Amino acid sequence: MQTESVAPPVAKVSPVKETLHGEERVDEFAWMKSREDPEVISYLEAENDYTKSVMQDTEELQESLYREMLARIKETDLSVPVRIDDFFYYLRTEEGKQYPIYCRKFQSLDAVEEIILDQNDLAEGNEYFAFGTLAVSPDHRILAYSSDTLGREIYTLHFKDLTSGALLPDQIENIEYSVAWANDNRSVFYSVPDEAKRPYRLMRHILGTNPASDALIYEETDAAYYLGAVRSKTKAFIFMSLGSLTTSEVWYLDANRPEDEFKVIHPREQGVRYEVAHQGDVFVITTDDDAKNFKVVEAPIDAPGKENWRTVVPHNRDIKIDHVEVFADHRVFFERRGGFTTARIQNIRTGEDHPIDFPEPVYWVRPGPNPQYNTHILRFSYTSLITPDSVYDYDMQTRDRELLKRQEVLGGYDPAQYASERISATASDGTEVPISLVYRKDFSKDGTHPALLYGYGSYGASIDPFFNSNLLSLLDRGFVYAVAHVRGGGELGEYWKEDGKLLQKRNTFTDFIACAEHLIEQDYAHPKRLAIMGGSAGGLLMGAVVNLRPELFQAVIAKVPFVDVINTIRDPKLLYSVLEYEEWGNPDDPGFYEYIRTYAPYDNVEAKEYPNMLVTASFHDPRVNFWEPAKWVARLRRIKRGDELLLLKTKMVAGHGGASGRYDRLRDTAFEFAFLFKVLEVQA
């Protein structure tokens, strides 16, 4: 495949050796683990130059794809307003501007618009700009917001007077995501990261005081736990949540008395997770205590410990409770049944219970912003692989629903021209693995069409079927797009998640391979026209399956891939390294080391042919540090056989999610699609 005259970069080999569990480990590219080393930067730039030269013949195609995808987007648009007290809050976008503008109106949607924050103004002069949080004070006079200009997910907290438009002198550096206002409109709780960027301290700031004197409320010393704070929907409490991947603990504070001490709901108990909402005179607690797929209990506010928990929704092995939304008279249970999301309404006054029906066989429903407590209107969003994102208001009393907004797709998009279905593949152990598919109705199952198979499969995260107008650029050229709902994800509940983690992790990879084989067997795809894609832990999935079955795939896009599993998890200075023990296992344990060693992509590169590969990295990514994909590509170049493309593209100013601006993100997608067209030989 590789016919370009430009030679790929050759990375310096400087072996670092160590012995672990009696095995000598050699990392010839450990020297790349430095953001300050000029030689590292030179290498990344050389890889970028090489990638650009190889893809030079697609530059017109990239521009064409970018314009095509942009033409489907309503560039000047606004979100559905959300009412909070007497204000309607919303954001809008303007043509040509990268970022949204945050606005509000007082009492009526016909009132004069007030711009509370224009992200474009704040981003001016920065190649990267991202918000961490926006939180308005209870009296709606002060806006707290945090921003990051590198992509390291380390934020600066600012306060803006919404009456005068002036920034207050209070400015707090180096904070994490959490910001929660107390009801006095001057006390603000926020989280602070440690050296590994783990949020471990909760602080309280009083407006008008020096941040250096902020009170330390709590410090979490267990490196497997992280913390956050949020105010309850009822505005009565501040909740401080502490959690690892398997255990949690929640503390509560009267939001009217911010200087009081937090009290614990139930002390942490290894292997028990719970989350808390306030409703009336009880705490509504969703927990997996002796209930793997979760149950719902109530606890009295004055004695909320586990000994007083009363079950109101029992555990069901076949139904996972994802989230409970509380209102004055209702509870809404967002659940997973058979791999699909559902919503069930309960009237707590009458005990009446009913589901919300949805029209398509493959879809995704999720709660919208529901900040109002004293209302019988539920807001939710509905989408599918062919239905654009749709925002509804649902009257929980009358059961009437109102479509408030459906994402507009310009250029004459007709959903009737496309079809979506859910099929399943049989894994090597007999497990049925769901696959969601979308394609044009004129698609024929003859094995000649290009296909893109996406996967993730870690941390219990679900890859639900949602509409993405960019995919039309693939579907309209004959592609079938598929999502493999492999074990390790949460699509079929906690049992599905547990079967794809720790010493069952290889199920994630063999499930994905089974899905690819099934698409080929059923003539949806052919190995010479099958591409796969995944990012972060999904990038680990990509690396594992191409080591196991490289002949199945023609192309791979691995975005910020987590591929150097053993070295990363063993480094406590890196974000979430200790936390990862509960997902992958601790490599310092011989049993876990031996198991991880069988699949970790960086450790299993072999002298064989690999598919065409595009690997991306972000220089400031704190979750998957750039050196993981860089080292992996360097080792592949050194060891692999064949002349298939191997490209590394590192964004030098970006975070884990890539570029921050909407137009920049679109150009990145155009680049990825152009790579697919090139190696799959798709006519543009």
What is the pLDDT, as a whole number, of residue 157? Answer: 98
Choose, from 330, 485, 620, 656, the residue flagged as catalytic: 656
Cβ atoms 368, 393 nearer than 8 A? no
Residue 214 CB neighbour total at 10 angstroms:
19
pLDDT above 90 for 75: yes
Q: Average of pLDDT values for 441-468?
A: 96
Q: Average of pLDDT values for 182-208?
A: 96
Percent of the chain with pLDDT over 90: 95
Confidence of residue 2 (pLDDT cuts 50, 70, 90): very low
**CA–CA gap between residue 613 and residue 363 (Å, rounded):** 31
Query: Looking up tokens 């999301």, which residue turns up?
Result: 341
Cβ atoms 131, 145 nearer than 8 A? yes
Domain ranges of the chain: 84-318
Residue 217 CA to chain centroid, in angstroms?
29
Give me 550's structure tokens. 């490289």
What is the pLDDT, as a whole number, of residue 165? Answer: 96
Residue 73 CB neighbour total at 10 angstroms:
20
pLDDT above 60 for 502: yes
Beta pairing class for 390-395 and 130-136 = unpaired
Q: Average of pLDDT values for 321-339?
A: 97
**CA–CA gap between residue 419 and residue 400 (Å, rounded):** 28
H or E element at residue 130: strand 130-136
Q: What's this model's pTM, rounded to 2 decimal places? A: 0.96
Cβ atoms 384, 467 nearer than 8 A? yes
**CA–CA gap between residue 447 and residue 27 (Å, rounded):** 41
- pLDDT tens figures, 233-273: 999 999 999 999 999 999 999 999 999 999 999 999 999 99
**CA–CA gap between residue 86 and residue 396 (Å, rounded):** 22
656 is catalytic: yes
What is the pLDDT, as a whole number, of residue 5? Answer: 62
What is the pLDDT, as a whole number, of residue 106? Answer: 98
Closest CA to 53 of 648, 682, 659: 648
What is the pLDDT, as a whole number, of residue 435? Answer: 98
Long-range contacts of 566-570 (CB under 8 A, 24+ apart): 566/25, 566/593, 566/596, 566/597, 566/600, 566/602, 566/603, 567/27, 567/30, 567/602, 568/625, 568/628
Cβ atoms 339, 422 nearer than 8 A? yes
What is the pLDDT, as a whole number, of residue 309? Answer: 98
pLDDT above 90 for 7: no
Q: Average of pLDDT values for 366-370?
A: 97
**CA–CA gap between residue 222 and residue 214 (Å, rounded):** 23
Give me 603's structure tokens. 């450790």
Strand 226-231's sheet: what is its strand order? 226-231, 237-243, 248-254, 263-264
Closest CA to 508 of 461, 554, 464: 461
Give me 16's structure tokens. 């670092």
621 is catalytic: yes
What is the pLDDT, as a whole number, of residue 621? Answer: 92
- pLDDT tens figures, 52-74: 999 999 999 999 999 999 999 99
Residue 616 CA to chain centroid, in angstroms?
17
> What percent of the residues of the chain are helix, what percent strand, and what percent coil, each to the nearest 5?
20, 35, 45
Confidence of residue 104 (pLDDT cuts 50, 70, 90): very high
Q: Average of pLDDT values for 225-238?
A: 97
Cβ atoms 562, 535 nearer than 8 A? no
pLDDT above 80 for 606: yes
Percent of the chain with pLDDT over 70: 99
Q: Is 168 exposed, middle or buried (0-12, 13-18, 19+ CB in 10 A)?
A: middle
536 is catalytic: yes
Q: Average of pLDDT values for 320-347?
A: 97
Q: What is the mean pLDDT of the chain?
A: 96
pLDDT above 60 for 200: yes
Cβ atoms 240, 262 nearer than 8 A? yes
**CA–CA gap between residue 592 and residue 601 (Å, rounded):** 16
Beta pairing class for 612-618 and 646-651 = parallel
Choose, from 536, 577, 618, 660, the residue flagged as catalytic: 536
Cβ atoms 520, 527 nearer than 8 A? yes
**CA–CA gap between residue 170 and residue 47 (Å, rounded):** 43
Query: What is the Cα gyration radius of the chain?
Result: 25
Cβ atoms 546, 539 nearer than 8 A? no
Weakest mean pLDDT among 397-401, 646-650, 653-657:
653-657
Give the CATH number of domain 84-318; options: 2.130.10.120, 3.90.550.10, 3.10.20.30, 2.60.40.1180: 2.130.10.120
Closest CA to 288 of 226, 236, 352, 243: 243
pLDDT above 50 for 588: yes
Closest CA to 35 of 567, 622, 535: 622
**CA–CA gap between residue 370 and residue 354 (Å, rounded):** 19
Q: Is the dihedral of CA 306, 311, 312, 315 positive or negative?
A: positive
Query: Looking up tokens 């380390």, which residue turns up?
Result: 154
**CA–CA gap between residue 357 and residue 365 (Å, rounded):** 11
Cβ atoms 58, 37 nearer than 8 A? no
Residue 419 CA to chain centroid, in angstroms?
26
pLDDT above 90 for 1: no
What b-and-e string marks burial along 523-539, b requiring 16 or more CB atoms within 10 Å of the CB? ebbbbebbbbbbbbbbb
Confidence of residue 577 (pLDDT cuts 50, 70, 90): confident
Query: Looking up tokens 């067997």, which residue turns up?
Result: 521
What is the pLDDT, as a whole number, of residue 573? Answer: 85
> Strand runs (DSSP E) across 560-644, as ranges?
612-618
